[in-house]
Amino acid sequence: MSLVKPHGSDVLLPLLLEGEALAAEQARAQGLKKVLISSRESGDLIMLGIGGFTPLTGFMGKDDWQSVCTNMTLSNGLFWPIPITLSTSADVADTITLGEDVALVDSETGEVMGTMTVSEKYSIDKSLECQEVFRTTDPAHPGVKMVMEQGDVNLGGAVKVLSQGEFPTKYAGIYMTPAETRKLFEEKGWKTIAAFQTRNPMHRSHEYLAKIAVEICDGVLIHSLLGALKPGDIPADVRQEAIGVLIDKYFKKDTVVQSGYPLDMRYAGPREALLHALFRQNYGCSHLIVGRDHAGVGDYYGPFDAQHIFDELQKDALITQPLKIDWTFWCNACGGMASTKTCPHEEHNHVKVSGTKLRKALSEDEEVPENFSRPEVLEVLRKYYAGIAKEDRAKVELKGHSAK
């Protein structure tokens, strides 16, 4: 038995140029028309570059966009749950002719991230995309806001990727490509690997989920989002430090790998859980841990909608499968972590832990109970909050499942 195959392909299909080809394309890009891309688009482009979005060859055209929104498949029938698109203003689109090559420039850093052969220019129904992907058109939803604010014209076409941005240097030793994680798993002799998706520092409930997976699989990939988040979420470098001390102190050696990937968070709940499983397949993972409110925000999704959506897929849509785990909590009567499947005690004994509750307590300088988070983790997080003036801290509201 070997690692799971990449999605829709026998091999990874990275689009990142190297060596002489890279130098030549970088030089050529200087003479091309420039199209600014957002942080989200830049992250998507890097994922195309490193093979994380195998087998895509670029940003989606209209048929693929439509099919992904309404059917969760590309127009050729291959499973894909969220559109991977690039947009620009109508004014910029009007200056581009079909078949023309353009340079894709990160709007925040000014770096030329790639080139694209524009094969399509098309407008989309943004409300349709939001309703299908996010299950809402509420502009207060951060994913909806992102889509509604993007340009009015989408550009579709094949890309050549020239850079991985700051990720390899800023997160050296943490950031890995799918080829690198696959090589590492093979060196360790792991065949079954569960990915643990996180955009938060790991609290006791997260730790418990990962340890359940360690019992079931050969190893666990603690795989953090390294791209942009919403205000109030804890930055990736702080999160990595907090996760690192947890692994060092509370996990058996060589049972987990800490790593990160370059995407921005979309907060698409169930659909994003499917995307998380799909690209973890490309990273070599056989399973994805799916707990309560995976990739959710506020109360837009039911606590286990991200688990139920996997039941709607055709049998062969994904090789990587969900590890579905129920509500987990500290039980005072049990004297330890438990879940609704294992704990016989009444709810008043349960301390339900969430990343939102933890962030709220820390941002307001409140005491955090010992059964909420490990002391070494709290030390890292308190140090981070101590460096932010109280009036500058984003207000953290308890909504939906996180408030329970």
Sequence-distant (6+) residues with CB within 8 A of 319 are 4, 5, 7, 281, 286
Residues constituting the chain: 404
For residue 200, indicate whether it is catalytic.
Answer: yes
**For residue 175, what is the DSSP state?**
B
Per DSSP, the residues of 71-82 read: HSB-TTS-B--S
Helix (H, G, I), strand (E, B) or coil at 345: coil
* CA proximity to 386, closest of 250, 238, 223: 238
d(Cα 39, Cα 19) in Å, to the nearest integer? 26
Which one of 40, 154, 182, 200 is the catalytic residue? 200
Beta pairing partners, 105 = 36, 112
Instruction: Assess contact for 46 and 11: CB atoms under 8 A.
Output: no
Helix (H, G, I), strand (E, B) or coil at 288: strand
For residue 199, indicate whether it is catalytic.
Answer: yes
Helix, strand and coil percent figures for the chain, each rounded to 5: 35, 20, 45
Which one of 40, 182, 199, 292 is the catalytic residue? 199
Annotated catalytic residues are 199-200
